[in-house]
Amino acid sequence: MDTSFNNPHLPMLYFPENSWKKLFAYADIASGEISGLGKITLHENGTDFIVNDIFLLEQVSGVGSTNLNPDSVAKFITDLIVAGENPADVKLWFHSHGNIDVFWSSTDNTTIQGFSDASYMLSIVVNKRFQHKARLDLFKPIRLTLELEVILENNFLGIDRIEIEKEVTQKVKILPTPSSRVIKPISNMLNNSKRGKR
Ligand SMILES: [Zn+2]
Protein backbone atom coordinates (compact mmCIF):
# COMPACT_ATOMS: atom_id res chain seq x y z
CA MET A 1 0.00 0.00 0.00
CA ASP A 2 1.14 3.51 -0.84
CA THR A 3 1.40 5.25 2.51
CA SER A 4 2.61 8.60 1.16
CA PHE A 5 -0.92 9.44 -0.08
CA ASN A 6 0.38 11.83 -2.71
CA ASN A 7 -2.68 11.73 -4.98
CA PRO A 8 -5.67 12.97 -2.96
CA HIS A 9 -8.95 12.79 -4.92
CA LEU A 10 -12.61 12.02 -4.41
CA PRO A 11 -13.29 8.27 -4.25
CA MET A 12 -14.40 6.40 -7.39
CA LEU A 13 -16.36 3.17 -7.67
CA TYR A 14 -14.54 0.83 -10.03
CA PHE A 15 -16.36 -2.09 -11.66
CA PRO A 16 -14.21 -4.80 -13.29
CA GLU A 17 -15.85 -5.99 -16.51
CA ASN A 18 -17.36 -9.18 -15.04
CA SER A 19 -19.01 -7.24 -12.18
CA TRP A 20 -20.76 -4.57 -14.24
CA LYS A 21 -21.84 -7.03 -16.91
CA LYS A 22 -23.44 -9.21 -14.22
CA LEU A 23 -25.11 -6.14 -12.66
CA PHE A 24 -26.62 -4.90 -15.93
CA ALA A 25 -27.60 -8.44 -16.94
CA TYR A 26 -29.64 -8.70 -13.71
CA ALA A 27 -31.26 -5.33 -14.51
CA ASP A 28 -31.90 -6.33 -18.12
CA ILE A 29 -33.42 -9.73 -17.40
CA ALA A 30 -35.58 -8.84 -14.37
CA SER A 31 -39.01 -7.54 -15.35
CA GLY A 32 -39.32 -5.08 -12.44
CA GLU A 33 -37.03 -3.60 -9.80
CA ILE A 34 -34.42 -5.87 -8.25
CA SER A 35 -31.72 -5.43 -5.64
CA GLY A 36 -28.76 -7.23 -4.16
CA LEU A 37 -25.40 -6.88 -2.45
CA GLY A 38 -21.78 -6.70 -3.52
CA LYS A 39 -18.32 -7.34 -2.17
CA ILE A 40 -15.90 -4.42 -2.09
CA THR A 41 -12.18 -4.12 -1.71
CA LEU A 42 -10.39 -0.87 -1.10
CA HIS A 43 -8.01 0.09 -3.92
CA GLU A 44 -4.35 0.12 -2.95
CA ASN A 45 -4.38 3.92 -3.44
CA GLY A 46 -6.43 4.01 -0.22
CA THR A 47 -9.28 6.06 -1.76
CA ASP A 48 -11.11 4.15 -4.50
CA PHE A 49 -13.37 1.14 -4.22
CA ILE A 50 -13.38 -2.02 -6.38
CA VAL A 51 -16.50 -4.14 -6.79
CA ASN A 52 -15.31 -7.76 -6.61
CA ASP A 53 -18.60 -9.52 -7.10
CA ILE A 54 -22.31 -8.93 -6.84
CA PHE A 55 -25.02 -11.25 -5.61
CA LEU A 56 -28.73 -11.44 -6.20
CA LEU A 57 -30.71 -12.41 -3.11
CA GLU A 58 -34.16 -13.92 -2.81
CA GLN A 59 -36.65 -11.08 -2.83
CA VAL A 60 -40.14 -9.89 -3.63
CA SER A 61 -39.98 -7.51 -6.58
CA GLY A 62 -42.68 -5.12 -7.81
CA VAL A 63 -42.82 -2.53 -10.59
CA GLY A 64 -42.03 0.37 -8.24
CA SER A 65 -40.44 -1.36 -5.30
CA THR A 66 -37.79 -3.82 -4.27
CA ASN A 67 -37.05 -4.93 -0.76
CA LEU A 68 -34.15 -6.90 0.60
CA ASN A 69 -35.64 -9.69 2.67
CA PRO A 70 -33.90 -9.69 6.11
CA ASP A 71 -33.97 -13.52 6.16
CA SER A 72 -32.28 -13.65 2.73
CA VAL A 73 -29.62 -11.18 3.89
CA ALA A 74 -29.02 -13.20 7.09
CA LYS A 75 -28.69 -16.44 5.08
CA PHE A 76 -26.36 -14.76 2.59
CA ILE A 77 -24.09 -13.49 5.40
CA THR A 78 -24.10 -16.91 7.11
CA ASP A 79 -23.15 -18.62 3.83
CA LEU A 80 -20.28 -16.14 3.39
CA ILE A 81 -18.93 -16.88 6.87
CA VAL A 82 -19.23 -20.65 6.25
CA ALA A 83 -17.29 -20.15 2.99
CA GLY A 84 -14.52 -18.49 5.01
CA GLU A 85 -15.18 -15.01 3.66
CA ASN A 86 -15.42 -11.76 5.57
CA PRO A 87 -18.98 -10.37 5.77
CA ALA A 88 -17.47 -6.93 6.44
CA ASP A 89 -16.48 -6.88 2.74
CA VAL A 90 -20.17 -6.69 1.80
CA LYS A 91 -20.30 -2.93 1.42
CA LEU A 92 -22.35 -2.43 -1.75
CA TRP A 93 -26.09 -2.27 -2.14
CA PHE A 94 -27.30 -2.29 -5.74
CA HIS A 95 -30.76 -1.98 -7.18
CA SER A 96 -32.35 -1.46 -10.55
CA HIS A 97 -35.22 0.89 -11.36
CA GLY A 98 -36.20 -1.19 -14.41
CA ASN A 99 -37.23 1.22 -17.18
CA ILE A 100 -37.41 4.28 -14.88
CA ASP A 101 -34.70 6.96 -14.52
CA VAL A 102 -31.97 6.55 -11.92
CA PHE A 103 -32.39 8.67 -8.75
CA TRP A 104 -32.54 8.20 -4.97
CA SER A 105 -36.11 7.77 -3.76
CA SER A 106 -37.12 8.31 -0.13
CA THR A 107 -37.40 4.49 0.15
CA ASP A 108 -33.81 4.21 -1.14
CA ASN A 109 -32.64 6.73 1.48
CA THR A 110 -34.38 4.71 4.21
CA THR A 111 -32.80 1.47 2.95
CA ILE A 112 -29.33 3.09 2.96
CA GLN A 113 -29.87 4.47 6.47
CA GLY A 114 -30.62 0.84 7.49
CA PHE A 115 -26.93 0.01 6.86
CA SER A 116 -25.79 2.54 9.49
CA ASP A 117 -24.39 -0.17 11.80
CA ALA A 118 -21.44 -0.18 9.37
CA SER A 119 -19.00 2.72 9.21
CA TYR A 120 -19.87 3.29 5.55
CA MET A 121 -21.93 1.85 2.68
CA LEU A 122 -21.73 2.20 -1.10
CA SER A 123 -24.87 2.18 -3.22
CA ILE A 124 -25.55 2.09 -6.94
CA VAL A 125 -28.85 2.43 -8.75
CA VAL A 126 -29.07 1.35 -12.40
CA ASN A 127 -31.75 0.84 -15.04
CA LYS A 128 -32.30 -1.11 -18.24
CA ARG A 129 -30.83 1.79 -20.29
CA PHE A 130 -27.35 1.33 -18.77
CA GLN A 131 -27.74 4.50 -16.70
CA HIS A 132 -26.24 4.52 -13.23
CA LYS A 133 -25.81 6.69 -10.17
CA ALA A 134 -23.64 5.82 -7.18
CA ARG A 135 -23.00 7.24 -3.73
CA LEU A 136 -20.95 6.73 -0.60
CA ASP A 137 -22.69 7.06 2.75
CA LEU A 138 -20.43 7.55 5.70
CA PHE A 139 -22.11 6.86 9.06
CA LYS A 140 -19.21 7.26 11.48
CA PRO A 141 -17.63 9.44 12.78
CA ILE A 142 -19.72 11.91 10.75
CA ARG A 143 -22.80 11.48 8.57
CA LEU A 144 -21.88 12.27 4.97
CA THR A 145 -23.29 11.41 1.55
CA LEU A 146 -21.03 11.76 -1.46
CA GLU A 147 -21.89 11.22 -5.13
CA LEU A 148 -19.39 8.76 -6.61
CA GLU A 149 -17.91 8.61 -10.07
CA VAL A 150 -18.43 5.12 -11.55
CA ILE A 151 -15.74 3.56 -13.71
CA LEU A 152 -16.82 0.57 -15.83
CA GLU A 153 -13.76 -1.39 -16.94
CA ASN A 154 -13.90 -2.31 -20.61
CA ASN A 155 -11.46 -4.75 -22.17
CA PHE A 156 -13.35 -4.67 -25.49
CA LEU A 157 -13.76 -8.45 -25.36
CA GLY A 158 -14.89 -9.87 -28.70
CA ILE A 159 -13.53 -6.84 -30.61
CA ASP A 160 -10.45 -7.12 -32.83
CA ARG A 161 -8.62 -4.03 -31.59
CA ILE A 162 -5.80 -4.39 -34.13
CA GLU A 163 -8.28 -4.29 -37.04
CA ILE A 164 -10.11 -1.29 -35.50
CA GLU A 165 -6.80 0.50 -34.97
CA LYS A 166 -5.86 -0.07 -38.66
CA GLU A 167 -9.24 1.30 -39.80
CA VAL A 168 -9.01 4.39 -37.58
CA THR A 169 -5.47 5.13 -38.77
CA GLN A 170 -6.59 4.74 -42.39
CA LYS A 171 -9.81 6.78 -42.26
CA VAL A 172 -9.23 9.43 -39.60
CA LYS A 173 -6.82 12.20 -40.46
CA ILE A 174 -5.51 14.15 -37.49
CA LEU A 175 -5.35 17.94 -38.02
CA PRO A 176 -2.14 19.59 -36.80
CA THR A 177 -2.71 21.85 -33.77
CA PRO A 178 -2.59 25.48 -35.03
CA SER A 179 0.28 27.30 -33.31
CA SER A 180 -1.70 30.59 -33.15
CA ARG A 181 -3.96 28.98 -30.56
CA VAL A 182 -1.12 28.89 -28.05
CA ILE A 183 -1.97 31.50 -25.45
CA LYS A 184 0.88 33.76 -24.41
CA PRO A 185 1.51 34.13 -20.69
CA ILE A 186 -0.06 37.33 -19.31
CA SER A 187 3.28 38.80 -18.20
CA ASN A 188 4.56 38.50 -21.81
CA MET A 189 1.54 40.32 -23.19
CA LEU A 190 1.93 43.15 -20.66
CA ASN A 191 5.61 43.55 -21.52
CA ASN A 192 4.75 43.64 -25.23
CA SER A 193 2.12 46.36 -24.78
CA LYS A 194 4.55 48.48 -22.73
CA ARG A 195 7.13 48.13 -25.47
CA GLY A 196 4.51 49.12 -28.05
CA LYS A 197 3.88 52.44 -26.26
CA ARG A 198 7.47 53.49 -26.26
ZN1 LIG B 1 -34.50 3.29 -6.05
Whether 2 maps to a domain, the answer reads no
Whether 159 maps to a domain, the answer reads no
CA of 52 to the centre of ligand 1 (A): 22
Whether 70 maps to a domain, the answer reads yes
CA of 66 to the centre of ligand 1 (A): 8
Whether 23 maps to a domain, the answer reads yes
Domain that holds residue 41: 12-152
Q: How many domains does the chain have?
A: 1
CA of 65 to the centre of ligand 1 (A): 8
The domain that holds 148 is classified in CATH as 3.40.140.10
Whether 179 maps to a domain, the answer reads no
Return per-residue pLDDT of the chain as tens, 198 residues: 555 677 889 999 999 999 999 999 999 999 888 999 999 999 999 999 999 999 998 888 765 556 677 888 888 889 989 999 898 999 999 999 999 999 999 999 999 999 999 999 999 999 999 999 999 999 999 999 999 999 999 888 888 989 999 999 999 998 887 765 555 555 655 555 544 444
CA of 59 to the centre of ligand 1 (A): 15
CA of 137 to the centre of ligand 1 (A): 15
Burial group, residue 126, by CB count within 10 angstroms (0-12, 13-18, 19+): buried
Whole-angstrom Cα distance, residue 56 to residue 74? Answer: 13
